[in-house]
Amino acid sequence: MAIRDLEYSPTVLAYFDQPHRAGTLKVPKTQMVEGRSGTTREGFVVQFQLQVAGQAITDGRYRVYGCPHGIAAAAWVVDQLIGGATRNVGQIRPQQIAEALDLPVEKMYVALIVEDALKQCAAQVEEE
């Protein structure tokens, strides 16, 4: 049960301690897009709800089961998207998340799973 030093960037620590915007949106389903990815076996599950008004993301929430890097990744993504254009949803890349949060290589899977969930949101945006 040896534990290696757990090192987190200041951004990850801040999101872990204050995971604002966690939860679910209180608006009708018709006003939001949703995406979910990951499994408990992978140690990471993330779910996004983004409120859409025209071509803009006006609000967003996430729920997450995962490590501090995963919690931070979910929170950071929602912060980036709110107030921006809907086209941004499908344009966030794993490398951006990794750089913003200083993810170690072994935690890249977190960014990939987040990207998968965002792709589901983006597909719904396109349908609308």
Partner 1 sequence: MTKRVYMDYAATTPVDPCVIEEMNRYLGPSDLFANPASSHWAGAEAKKAVEGARERIAHKLGAHPTEIVWTSGATESNNLALKGVAAYYQTKGRHIVTARTEHKAVLDSAQALQSEGFEVTFLTPDESGVVHPDQIKSVLRNDTILVSLMHVNNEIGVIQDIHAVADICRARGVLFHVDGAQSVGKLPIDLSRLPVDLLSFCAHKIYGPKGVGGLFVRRHPKVNLSPLQHGGGHEYGFRSGTVPSHLVTGFAHAVELAVDHMGVESTRIGTLKKRLYDGLRDTPRILLNGAVGTTVPNILNVSFAGVEGESLLHGLRNLAVSSGSACASASREPSYVLRALGRDDALAQASIRFSLGRFSTESEVDFASALVAEQVARLRDLAPECLISDI
- Which lies closer to partner 1 via its Cβ, residue 18 or residue 128? 18
The distance of closest approach from Cβ of residue 65 to partner 1 in the complex, given in angstroms and rounded to an integer, is 4
The distance of closest approach from Cβ of residue 32 to partner 1 in the complex, given in angstroms and rounded to an integer, is 15
Q: Which two tokens stand for residue 23?
A: 């939860």
Q: Which residue(s) pair with 33 in the sheet?
A: 50
- Which lies closer to partner 1 via its Cβ, residue 84 or residue 97? 97
- Which lies closer to partner 1 via its Cβ, residue 6 or residue 54? 6
Q: Which residues bind partner 1 (CB under 8 A)?
A: 1-6, 8, 16, 19, 22, 24, 36, 40-41, 43-47, 63-68, 70-71, 106
- Which lies closer to partner 1 via its Cβ, residue 3 or residue 128? 3
**Could you give the CA distance from residue 4 to residue 56 in angstroms, rounded to a whole number?**
43
The distance of closest approach from Cβ of residue 58 to partner 1 in the complex, given in angstroms and rounded to an integer, is 22
The distance of closest approach from Cβ of residue 62 to partner 1 in the complex, given in angstroms and rounded to an integer, is 9
